[in-house]
Amino acid sequence: MSKRKNAEGGSGAPAGGKGGRGGKKGPGPQTPKDAFVDNVRTLVYALAIALFIRTFLVQAFRIPSGSMEQTLLIGDFLLVDKITLGARVPGTNWRLPGFREPRRGDILVFKDPRTNRDFIKRCIGEGGETLKVVDNHVFIDGHELPEPYKHVGPGGGIDLSNFPYRSAARRDVKRWVQAERMQRGISPTTPLPDGYRIPDDRIFMMGDNRNNSADSREWGSLDKSRVVGRAFVLYWSSDPEHAPGWVRRMPENWVKGFFQLFLGRPRIRRLGTWLAHNYTDSYENALHAATTAPGNE
């Protein structure tokens, strides 16, 4: 009589192999070399992801000057959104498609046309509009712009309270304009221009701290291609005046920002301040009120 086959496979031993153990050996202990390679690989992946986020999605910046006070203070650390306006591809003139163009009221980080350094100001005028400033009041196409964010502090070295009539002192506006006209060969009897027409595809940038801001009133309108992104939130703020003296004396760079981040006095109440406000409705309401006022119907 033939022998009966075992239910597991017919040879009297379990299907898994000898003695019930699997045929494949499990992974052995990790060597120091393997651990090092894994750590390096993880670090490279993390750096690549961080670089991608910084280049195309969100970038962190620190405020080193007071040109945007009181909206932004020296020592504020903020995040800039690159998705809404479209991030620029490094090393090229290409930009990824954005959801919209820069608009009036946006706080923008951009490349300064004179030094190519990162600057931050507010977009005040758009291409095709006529802008002028009279005693620190901005007029767009003849209508005053409501600016709840504006701060008029003590003046700096140049009087910028009137534009396009810049001068070292307000009382010297007429003399300054006449001297400029002589240099440009313009007749002194030519009527003064009623504002500055912003070229198409460009924007006019101004700091909220109107008397202490080097902006489009000095170097002209900004090409949109120089925009880096739109500031949208403060993630940290520290008072640099309470940092150690050796930190305050450091030149403005990322190293100073790193030490200031941890050694300055925290401004806890400023954390999470939202910066990406939409002023479109207030601007349009002011324009509608101006055009429907008595005598303007």
| Residues taking part in catalysis | 67, 121
Tally of CB atoms within 10 A around 89: 12
Instruction: List, as one string, the DSSP characters of 186-199.
Output: --TTSPPPSSEEPP
Which of 220, 221, 227, 213 shows the shortest CA–CA distance to 161?
213
| CB 208, CB 68: distance < 8 Å | yes
Distance CA 87, CA 58 (A): 9
Task: End-to-end CA distance of the chain: give it in Å, rounded.
Answer: 116
Instruction: List, as one string, the DSSP characters of 113-133.
Output: TTT--EEEEEEEEETT-EEEE
